[in-house]
Amino acid sequence: MRAAKPASQRYDPMRPEGSENVFVFPVPGDPELQITIHKWQEDGRLLDLVLQVRDTRDGTLLASIDCKHGTIHRHNETESDRPRKELFPLATQDELQKNADEAIREVAEYAKDLKARRGRK
């Protein structure tokens, strides 16, 4: 009989299995704001891409997009704080990259807008 996996290793349907690599992109002109690309792969096959916008001063997660499941969270905007399922249908392997291109532009524009609003304060 196999031992149960610890909670941290149990399958999470919103978290693909495989290995995760994280690429960090500071926002030009405001390096304390960062976009991270979480790239999940297994045997060279892309499983999922998750994009996050984070304020590194206090570690606050400001927004995230899951390119496979189509969920968006904007943590500082009450109206859109709920996950939105309609952005992308559950993506196939081939659709993931296309979704990622669109999602990257979206989070970049969001981060630049956030930077501009901070600059005006």
Partner 1 sequence: MSELDDFWIQIMQFVARHGDAEEFPTDANGQHPVVVALGDEPIVLLQQRIAAVGGNATIFVRDTIEGEVVVHVASAIDSDCAIGLDAADDLVIPGDALSTVSMFLNHLRNQPNGVSLGTQSEGPRFENIREVELAGA
State the residues that interact with partner 1 by CB under 8 A.
21-28, 31-32, 35-37, 39, 49, 97, 100-101, 104-105, 108-109, 112
Minimum Å gap between C-beta 20 and partner 1 is: 9
The type of residue at 84 is R
The candidate with the shortest Cα–Cα distance to 51, out of 115, 116, 96, 13, is: 96
Look up residue 82 and give its two tokens: 């709920």
Nearest residue (CB) to partner 1, 17 versus 32: 32
Minimum Å gap between C-beta 78 and partner 1 is: 27
Nearest residue (CB) to partner 1, 42 versus 101: 101
Nearest residue (CB) to partner 1, 81 versus 93: 93
As a whole number of angstroms, the distance between CA 26 and CA 22 comes to: 13
Minimum Å gap between C-beta 77 and partner 1 is: 21
- In this structure, the number of other CB atoms found within 10 A of the CB of residue 101 comes to 11
The residue with tokens 């500082």 is 76
